[in-house]
Amino acid sequence: MIQPFHIAIPVQNLEKCRSYYRDILQCEEGRSAEHWVDFNFFGHQLVIHQKENFIPTKAMTNPVDGHDVPVPHFGVVLSWNDWHKLADHLKSVDTKFVIEPTIRFKGKVGEQATMFFKDPENNALEFKAFKDMSQLFAK
């Protein structure tokens, strides 16, 4: 079994981000207090912390397979079918993608489905999937 990771990110508008992760990404809400909320982020623990003076940094990018990938970013590797379901859902709610759902490294080692988008506070997220999970760490 893979151990769940924990990530905590700053946000200015707790309620806007709470709604986004709960309603758009469909993450189950866990414990919360006045200035933070836990989420079940696809089996992992995501905590959003309200920081009123937080100023999102200007995103940097790195070229990968013909796309400008936002750095930093975080996300989850999903099953092939779950990735497609999420991509369809995000399209249905008019998500503005940084990188549209696509297949990266076609025909090469590490071929994967990927998509990038941002939450309301400009945090970049990537969700990916492999038809063959043995390719996850392949060289």
Q: From first to last of the 139 residues of the chain, give the pLDDT tens digit.
A: 789 999 999 999 999 999 999 999 999 999 999 999 999 999 999 999 999 887 777 778 988 988 899 899 999 999 999 999 999 999 999 999 999 999 999 989 889 999 999 999 999 999 999 999 988 888 8
Q: What is residue 18's predicted lDDT score, i.e. its pLDDT? A: 98
Q: What is residue 4's predicted lDDT score, i.e. its pLDDT? A: 94
Report residue 23 as tokens.
């309603």
Q: Are residues 80 and 13 in the same domain?
A: no
Q: What is residue 55's predicted lDDT score, i.e. its pLDDT? A: 78
Q: Are residues 45 and 64 in the same domain?
A: no
Q: What is residue 2's predicted lDDT score, i.e. its pLDDT? A: 84
Q: Are residues 71 and 106 in the same domain?
A: yes
Residues 6+ apart with CB under 8 A from 43: 4, 76
Q: Are residues 25 and 80 in the same domain?
A: no
Q: Are residues 67 and 123 in the same domain?
A: yes
Pairing label, strands 28-33, 74-78: unpaired
pTM of the predicted model over 0.85: yes
How far CA 123 is from CA of 77, 117, 135, in Å, comes to 17, 8, 27
Q: Are residues 65 and 34 in the same domain?
A: no
Residues 6+ apart with CB under 8 A from 69: 61, 62, 63, 99, 116, 126
Domain-embedded: residue 128: yes
Q: Are residues 66 and 117 in the same domain?
A: yes
How many distinct structural domains can be found in the chain? Answer: 2
In the chain, % helix, strand, coil (3-state, to 5) comes to 20, 45, 35
Q: What is residue 54's predicted lDDT score, i.e. its pLDDT? A: 79
Report residue 123 as tokens.
């945090």
Domain-embedded: residue 1: no
Domain hosting 35: range is: 6-50
